[in-house]
């Protein structure tokens, strides 16, 4: 039995406390002086991880930024989702804005956490960034590789590993994996669609000299939409319905064993709106555009590398396919020409395989668009179903197309007294939407603009009449003249 006489005196207890405190302070000072700060952080994090593992009632799902050399789509989705889940208790956020960005990007700062409830389940999110310099097995760019290592680092990049941790009670594992994560992915997709800025990608400046050309990108500022296109309403609706059906049929394409892609051929005279239609499709679907200039492609293997460099949910555009490059025939040897020398390993067979061969399946939800001014010049192999699924004729301006232009450029919503004459003239001459749009931009006064357009169309009609007359008058009188032409020349019916 312990008695009061056995207890140490207050002075002795204080002396012992002072000795222990002094020893602890000395140990802490020595630890701080000897052990580098980064190693201290690593040891403390390791200690807390070990401590957390003793709590067997919770489970942590770890989502790394990279899976091998490829980015982890889950990490990217979680990063977007968590940017919308900040709350008054959040202490640190990371924000950024580039010159061409329309919105400020918000992300969780290092080691910040957020708590969310889903179907009554408490889920704690933690965003972790770790410097890997003092950690074993995290060498950057080993063997001189230009590709990311397993932590997503390229040569010259900081050695940082990033991941998300989701912590919750173990008994909710199935609900979190089968319900909560799909819920987050659906929310992320909606956020991306609302905030996505469509990009226009083109080959970099070094593409002509590189074995693996890379894509550069800028924001697509083209304002074209289906509502502004000078097309027949029925044609626009048919195309929009076709696009809607395409993006909804992922499982269908998988079921029938086809790559999830669709090809469109836009053909017609210059100035009929082919480029504007491509921009309208991209803005409607919010798909990035990859503008492929075939003259920048050296050979078939380079074409495959370009395919691998394009993202899902994108539009690949090859404009003026009939004149952008001379493609050697599949069954004949290339013939030398006086043009600029090219690597003749780039063939029509390589392009066809790129469109619907094995390499076309390296990606999902992609659209391929060819444009041409002369459809008849194209190799029939490019046009068959499965390569170009839908052929769209971009024709001269129609009456409905003119009304769309008048509404866009002059803000005319109702019938104008000039419309009837303009519609009659459009029925007798061929003009492109680009030509009429140029006339409508000359002044803000609707009456003056439409009067100028009438004069332009009349002049075009007179020009056609003169051309027809010249064709008759230029007949060589020394040669026999057909009876029909003699009748027209003499003015008889």
Tens of pLDDT along 176-234?
Answer: 999 999 999 998 888 877 777 888 998 866 544 454 457 888 888 899 999 999 999 99
Identify which of 112, 160, 135, 127 has the alpha carbon closest to the alpha carbon of residue 39. Answer: 135
Q: What is the reported pLDDT for 490?
A: 37
Identify which of 64, 188, 74 has the alpha carbon closest to the alpha carbon of residue 127. Answer: 64
Does pLDDT of 51 surpass 80?
no
Instruction: Please indicate whether residue 24 or residue 117 has the higher confidence score (pLDDT).
Output: 117
Q: Can you give the C-alpha Rg of the chain in angstroms?
A: 34
- Mean pLDDT: which of 296-300, 361-365, 459-463 is highest? 459-463
Q: What is the reported pLDDT for 367?
A: 93
Span 372-401, pLDDT tens digits: 998 888 888 788 777 888 999 999 999 999
Q: Is 343 helix (H, G, I), strand (E, B) or coil?
A: coil
Give the chain's mean pLDDT: 77
Instruction: State the Cα–Cα distance between residues 240 and 246, nearest whole angstrom.
Output: 10
Identify which of 379, 380, 353 has the alpha carbon closest to the alpha carbon of residue 368. Answer: 353
* Fold for the domain defined by 199-332+341-393: Rossmann fold (3.40.50)
For 223, residues 6+ apart whose C-beta sits below 8 A from its C-beta are 283
Q: What is the reported pLDDT for 437?
A: 94
Instruction: Please indicate whether residue 336 or residue 368 has the higher confidence score (pLDDT).
Output: 368
Q: What is the reported pLDDT for 360?
A: 63
Instruction: State the Cα–Cα distance between residues 480 and 365, nearest whole angstrom.
Output: 62
Three-state helix/strand/coil letters over 371-398: EECCHHHCCHHHHCCCCCCEEEECCCCC
Token pair, residue 69, equals 């050399």
Q: What is the reported pLDDT for 71?
A: 73
User: Which phi and psi (to 5°) does residue 144 adopt?
Assistant: 70, 15
Identify which of 83, 366, 338 has the alpha carbon closest to the alpha carbon of residue 201. Answer: 366
Identify which of 106, 110, 146 has the alpha carbon closest to the alpha carbon of residue 131. Answer: 110
Instruction: Please indicate whether residue 19 or residue 324 has the higher confidence score (pLDDT).
Output: 19
pLDDT band per the 50, 70, 90 thresholds, residue 343: very low
Instruction: State the Cα–Cα distance between residues 29 and 23, nearest whole angstrom.
Output: 10
Instruction: State the Cα–Cα distance between residues 362 and 479, nearest whole angstrom.
Output: 64
Instruction: Please indicate whether residue 161 or residue 274 has the higher confidence score (pLDDT).
Output: 274
Domain ranges, ordered by start, for the chain: 29-195, 199-332+341-393, 416-487
User: Which phi and psi (to 5°) does residue 14 adopt?
Assistant: -65, -40
Span 268-289, pLDDT tens digits: 999 999 999 999 999 999 999 9
For 455, residues 6+ apart whose C-beta sits below 8 A from its C-beta are none
Instruction: State the Cα–Cα distance between residues 360 and 347, nearest whole angstrom.
Output: 16
Instruction: State the Cα–Cα distance between residues 105 and 128, nearest whole angstrom.
Output: 18
Residue 454: C-alpha distances to residues 61, 245, 399 (Å)? 70, 41, 14
Angle in degrees, CA 207, 211, 216, rounded to 5: 35
Instruction: State the Cα–Cα distance between residues 373 and 391, nearest whole angstrom.
Output: 13
How many residues appear in the chain?
493
pLDDT band per the 50, 70, 90 thresholds, residue 175: very high
Identify which of 449, 230, 258, 287 has the alpha carbon closest to the alpha carbon of residue 361. Answer: 258
Give the predicted TM-score (pTM) of the model.
Answer: 0.61
Does pLDDT of 266 surpass 90?
yes
β-bridge pairing 314-318 and 288-291: parallel
Q: What is the reported pLDDT for 327?
A: 54
Token pair, residue 82, equals 């968590």
Instruction: State the Cα–Cα distance between residues 90 and 383, nearest whole angstrom.
Output: 56
Does pLDDT of 125 surpass 80?
yes
Q: What is the reported pLDDT for 445?
A: 93
């Amino acid at each position: 039995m312990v008695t009061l006489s056995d207890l140490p005196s207050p002075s002795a207890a204080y002396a012992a406390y002072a000795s222990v405190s002094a020893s602890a302070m000395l140990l802490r000072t020595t630890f701080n002086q000897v052990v580098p700060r980064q190693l201290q952080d690593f040891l403390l994090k390791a200690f807390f991880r070990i401590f957390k593992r003793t709590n067997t009632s919770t489970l942590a799902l770890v989502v790394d930024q990279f899976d091998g050399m490829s980015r982890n789509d889950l990490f990217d989705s979680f990063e977007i989702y968590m940017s919308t889940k900040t709350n008054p208790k959040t202490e640190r956020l990371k924000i950024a804005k580039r010159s061409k960005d329309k919105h400020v990007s918000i992300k969780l700062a290092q080691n910040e956490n957020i708590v969310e409830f889903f179907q009554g389940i408490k889920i704690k999110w933690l965003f972790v960034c770790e410097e890997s310099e003092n950690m074993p097995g995290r060498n950057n760019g080993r063997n001189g590789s230009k590709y990311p290592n397993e932590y997503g680092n390229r040569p010259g990049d900081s050695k940082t590993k990033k991941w998300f941790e989701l912590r919750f009670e173990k008994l909710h594992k199935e609900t979190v994996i089968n319900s909560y994560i799909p819920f987050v992915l659906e929310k992320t997709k909606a956020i991306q669609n609302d905030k996505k800025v469509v990009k226009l990608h083109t080959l970099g400046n070094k593409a002509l000299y590189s074995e693996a050309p890379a894509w550069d990108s800028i924001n697509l500022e083209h304002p074209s939409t289906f509502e502004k296109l000078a097309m027949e309403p029925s044609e626009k609706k048919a195309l929009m319905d076709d696009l809607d059906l395409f993006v909804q049929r992922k499982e269908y394409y998988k079921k029938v064993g086809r790559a999830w892609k669709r090809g469109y051929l836009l053909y017609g005279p210059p100035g009929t709106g082919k480029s504007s239609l491509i921009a309208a499709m991209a803005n409607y679907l919010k798909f990035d555009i990859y503008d492929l200039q075939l003259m920048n492609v050296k050979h078939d293997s380079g074409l495959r590398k370009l395919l691998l460099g394009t993202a899902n949910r994108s539009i690949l555009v090859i404009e003026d396919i009939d004149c952008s490059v001379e493609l050697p025939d599949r069954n004949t040897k290339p013939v030398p020409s006086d043009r600029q020398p090219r690597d003749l390993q780039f063939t029509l067979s390589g392009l066809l395989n790129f469109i619907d061969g094995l390499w076309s399946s390296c990606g999902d939800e992609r659209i391929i668009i060819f444009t041409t001014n002369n459809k008849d010049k194209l190799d029939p192999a490019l046009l068959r179903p499965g390569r170009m699924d839908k052929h769209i004729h971009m024709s001269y301006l129609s009456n409905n197309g003119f009304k769309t232009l008048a509404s866009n450029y002059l803000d005319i919503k109702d019938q104008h007294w000039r419309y009837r004459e303009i519609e009659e003239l459009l029925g007798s001459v061929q003009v492109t939407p680009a030509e009429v749009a140029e006339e409508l931009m000359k002044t803000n006064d609707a009456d003056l603009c439409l009067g100028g357009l009438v004069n332009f169309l009349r002049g075009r009609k007179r020009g056609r009449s003169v051309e027809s007359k010249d064709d008759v008058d230029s007949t060589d009188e020394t040669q026999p003249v057909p009876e029909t032409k003699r009748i027209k020349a003499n003015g008889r019916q």
